Structure 1
């Protein structure tokens, strides 16, 4: 019996040894494969994350555009080819990026898919004037219009021409060749003061503009105007996966520009392809959320570094953007050796619209730090003295914005003070002391801009119709000083 068991056990033991050796070998072979698969998964996620970050940076001006367009289409009765306007000076219910609360905004989105579009703009006269800008989907400036624009206040019929259009342009139009189908015009109807009568006069003047297709030029239809002053209009940049919904909107509605063709396969890896539905998985959405936040951190840090100082090396008043971006946009990005995508993203993360001739019709100065080089704190009060004889033909204004959102500060009853305000208190020499803070200093309410004590803020000084004294630095705006 013992000998028989031995005969049986020996083969079994040998088999077990063989199976064990085979199992060990299989495990050796499997371990590298599993490790490689895991590593590849990490690499793929990292690549998608990096591509999503770059997509946010590259697409910023177009997404900025689409946010405003979608807000109009979903929150108001307004439609493409019509005009929405704000029938009172802007307040915090308008959450566009760094808007001007000292002019009335008229905005018209247009689309040239079916042919050229006419923007018939009124001449300036004693009853009104405007400053206007016409841009593409990418907010590249096509032309400035109005008193200090191309028409020099005489008005005119600006004709936006779609890409690839070959037909002859009729006489009597100011042709603007666009490289996108869509675009919009922002018309700022000026007013003499914030009085009800002057505001109404500004509304009546702005309503003299007309938007229609060139095909209807013989008998233009009446333009539809919609007052959206009571609408909570929010086009702030959303740094999450929803950002890419707007990227998809642009890809589906516009043709690819040659300079951006490198993005085609990059976006395809994120599920965004022309002519195909965009249906990101939950896992991809998680990556997109993280990437959007990283892009935001990058842009915020770059903005926080500041733009070139305007008045002097020590001044905290800066140009409103990067000179390289201004030149590229004015030249329609034709230089094959430059494409300031990062700079463009920073600019359109805090503002909208593009100017063909920055400094002609209007000039903007930005300050994000006080005289001592510290960020503005909404719980503190600051004083800014505007020297006499401000170098403007029209008006100047100072506006406070939310530092994080770059919008009018929520919940306050005013956003700015300007030379249009007749009750502004002046000093004996003609200078004006302005106060920015959570509470007006005693007796200074007329010169005060309120802030949210729980949030940081930033300042923008606007000069409408600036004169040479500003650019020659013969007139210098001092830094705001903490009281």
Structure 2
């Protein structure tokens, strides 16, 4: 290369942070040296800078889009596995095999799920009275409204209308009907029956009605007893971006997401355009998804925006951000990414429980010595007597890789979930209980044990149903898992 007066003489290499971006200099960067001549760089440097720019954007876009891709994966894979045909069909998940499809599924009560689309018009739900909990959520997994005990009906039953983002809610207002608007066309309805009487399931499913506004509401079809294996864990690699592109086509762009859409467009993920990445973009998207997931798993395991719930422990309150996923100042990208990488869905009862109502989800990934929990070692969790719950508590085991219920070869729910309603658990004389997780059960504590296998790392959710005041004022406290040596 020659300058105006012969061979170009570059200045000494300078680190990126010390670059002047003026004249002739060689700048040391993470993507190699960038050589400036009269303040300009060559085409090779330009390509490397664009590659790095797109890689960084892809990594961050993975974190931003996790709630959306996760729920889209759930909708599609559940529908295929259970033969969903109609927009009012519900899937009922009861067995361990069925629930093992859901990311951090609750294993103590049946799940009932429906996915609907508001593009073709508003939907009315005639909701029965009874002991249930659930809600209607948009596809950012934010509650549009709760149903049942934590909803406006307070367990007494009511009629609801949910309208799409481009519809006018005022058109549907009438006496005795609760009207809500979703920011996405796609919504999902998640329900849990809390009534312990088996006969209530039949009563609920016969009384629940649903349909487009303007048409008669009718009973739904509840698909039950399939007992099939399936997975709602978001895909990796290019399939992740394909799924993101597909769901973006189905939804209007929210104002808060326009900046992200601008960053996605050069990556081949854009509104109104097919996802057809060339070889260069495929390589960048593969690396971006892999790094994005690594970053998100780091947030999930070592959250830096919140302190442990109980001082001196590694226990965190799992859902520790606003259900709107934003404050007056920020969109809570990291906070919601942590939760929706590890779990699915959100309701008011999960996020903002009150004494005697809702649920609390506590989680940990470390033992009492601060070390990561391992599949090849055994641990003891001491649960104090008189856990402050109006209903019950449970301890459920999950795989860190899939974030779904742990697959240790067991076929029964109690193989990966223990709870205070089980009559065969072994308690200590003072009413406390020791629970064990590891490759082998300690002698005499087989019923208090959940097995880990191979190198499948794990974590738990300790759930408190209808938590009472000692939880909120922290006079009740859980200790960390102790390594059994």
**Secondary structure in structure 2 of the residue aligned to 1:273:** coil
| Residue in structure 2 matching 1:404, options 401, 404, 407 | 401
How far has the Cα of 1:32 moved from its partner?
Answer: 9.8
How far has the Cα of 1:429 moved from its partner?
Answer: 1.8
Q: TM-score, normalised by structure 2?
A: 0.84
**Secondary structure in structure 2 of the residue aligned to 1:106:** strand
- 1:213 and 2:212 matched: yes
**Secondary structure in structure 1 of the residue aligned to 2:218:** coil
Distance 1:92 1:154, change over 3 A: closer
* Mapping of residues 66-465 of structure 1, within 5 Å: 66-79=72-85, 81-91=87-97, 94-124=100-130, 129-166=131-168, 167-190=171-194, 192=196, 200-201=198-199, 203-204=201-202, 207-208=205-206, 209-216=208-215, 219-227=216-224, 229-306=226-303, 308-322=306-320, 326-327=321-322, 329-330=323-324, 333=326, 335=328, 337-357=329-349, 358=351, 359-360=353-354, 361-413=358-410, 414-465=415-466
Runs of 5+ in structure 2 lacking a partner? 1-5, 7-34
How far has the Cα of 1:93 moved from its partner?
Answer: 6.3
**Secondary structure in structure 2 of the residue aligned to 1:234:** coil
Distance in structure 1 (CA, Å) of the matches to 2:284 and 2:204:
45
Distance in structure 2 (CA, Å) of the matches to 1:451 and 1:471:
32
How far has the Cα of 1:313 moved from its partner?
Answer: 2.0
How far has the Cα of 1:288 moved from its partner?
Answer: 0.6
1:11 corresponds in structure 2 to none
**Secondary structure in structure 2 of the residue aligned to 1:466:** coil
Bigger Cα Rg? 1
How far has the Cα of 1:309 moved from its partner?
Answer: 4.6
CA RMSD of aligned residues (A): 2.7
Distance 1:447 1:205, change over 3 A: farther
Distance in structure 1 (CA, Å) of the matches to 2:79 and 2:365:
33
2:15 corresponds in structure 1 to none
How far has the Cα of 1:385 moved from its partner?
Answer: 2.1
1:471 corresponds in structure 2 to 472
Distance in structure 2 (CA, Å) of the matches to 1:32 and 1:470:
61
Runs of 5+ in structure 1 lacking a partner? 1-24, 26-30, 193-197
Distance 1:83 1:371, change over 3 A: farther
How far has the Cα of 1:90 moved from its partner?
Answer: 3.2
How far has the Cα of 1:106 moved from its partner?
Answer: 0.4
| Aligned residues of 2:236 and 2:290 also touching (Cα < 8 A) | yes
| Aligned residues of 2:310 and 2:477 also touching (Cα < 8 A) | no
Distance 1:427 1:204, change over 3 A: farther
| Aligned residues of 2:380 and 2:436 also touching (Cα < 8 A) | yes
- 1:62 and 2:74 matched: no
How far has the Cα of 1:94 moved from its partner?
Answer: 2.2
Q: TM-score, normalised by structure 1?
A: 0.84
Distance in structure 2 (CA, Å) of the matches to 1:441 and 1:210:
50
* Mapping of residues 4-19 of structure 1, within 5 Å: none
| Aligned residues of 1:412 and 1:450 also touching (Cα < 8 A) | no
Distance in structure 2 (CA, Å) of the matches to 1:92 and 1:375:
29
Number of residues of Structure 1 aligned to a counterpart in Structure 2: 440
Distance in structure 2 (CA, Å) of the matches to 1:78 and 1:281:
35
Query: Which of the pair is proportionally richer in helix?
Result: 1
How far has the Cα of 1:228 moved from its partner?
Answer: 6.3
